[in-house]
Chain A
Amino acid sequence: MYDLMFLFILLLLGYFFGQMAEKRHFRSIIKREEEYREILTFAKRFPISNEGDQKAELVGGNVVISVDYFKRFAASLRNLVGGRVTTYESLLERARREAILRMKADARRKGLNTIVNVKLETASISKGSQSQVGAVEVYAYGTGLLSSHNL
């Protein structure tokens, strides 16, 4: 009986705090994406043109985000029937967008305005013996350039 109550309390806490944290995070991501709009990122391997690039340096940003208790519970239920696990989709989206933003922040700190050859790397940090995804790490990196030409 007490176990069931404990589980229920954990689910409630996870649901309310998790939703709040996610909404807050998305708001902050959208705001900062607007702020870093002028730093252009490309997934292509070579600079747009060799003329006018004065500086080249590696830039990167990483983030580790954990999923809340309610979402993990919902995902384990979803595991029974299969299909889209929407609760983990939003987790990964948040992590990727955050990592890209931190990479852009790093580029701005170093005085660069373009990033080419952006690579994203995802690693799951599993907790102990349980094979469930507890947290996910995303690392975004690329070559920051200082371009004087107008793209």
Chain B
Amino acid sequence: MAETKDRSAKWRYLQQFFFFGIVRLSMLLIALALGGILLYIIINGIGAISWEFITKPPTNSMTKGGIMPALLGTVYLTLGAIAVGLPLGIISAIYLTEYARQGLVVRIIRIGINCLAGVPSVVFGLFGLGFFVVFLNFGSSILAGSLTLGFLILPTIIGASEEALKAVPQTFREASLALGVSKWQTTLRIVLPAALPGIMTGSILGIGRAAGETAPIMFTAAAFFTAKLPSSIFDEVMALPYHIYVLATAGTNIEQTRPLQYGTVLVLVALVLGIDLIAIVIRSRMRKRKRW
């Protein structure tokens, strides 16, 4: 009797041993995938990086030169997306967490946000083309691209802001309201400042996404090549992600411009993951020394 029990226990721990092995292997595989891709890009791209590469426009029908207009275009589009998405997202989140009563309308808004989060990026591109570029007649421009990207990251910003607002202790609100401060003043002066670091770090991850997206800007803002820099928000721009796509698939000499492509990929990855990494580091610091 004792013997069979012993064997079954052994078997059960053997089972566990194998399961944990598979689980660890899965995690390792994912980490290796990320590490491998990053390492490959860095090793192949670092040679192309130079001051000229960052600060000069492409030359010789994009087979030589740098990426300055594309980098600048991506910065403009990302800032535009922030200007659109951040205020709308934060205010939406304030309404949902601080003001709204649970009910049909809030349920509809939440489903709307979830569905918006699931809209494929290329459909955002079609929306931007059909609505901003054609219907509102903005043309292919920084404005149309920024609006498209801004709405693309809206759900991310709302989600991050809601989480940060919910993390502010209820006692903060109660103390303020007890002093006779109005609800709006309480929200603006007490709740929002306490939640702001959380809102920012969460939103930065969405902003990183805006910087790296290609499909939404293909028909709304990105130019194959423009020699001149944009002078207004109604101008087309080059953008890093689209520039990579163009060089890798439609360039004049795809094999010959490989170093250029690796370099551009490295710059984009450094930009996007750099933004993400900043958010991750700030967040983990914040968690360690929370004031309440």
A, B: real partners: no
Which residues of A line the B interface, CB within 8 A? Answer: none
Which residues of B line the A interface, CB within 8 A? Answer: none
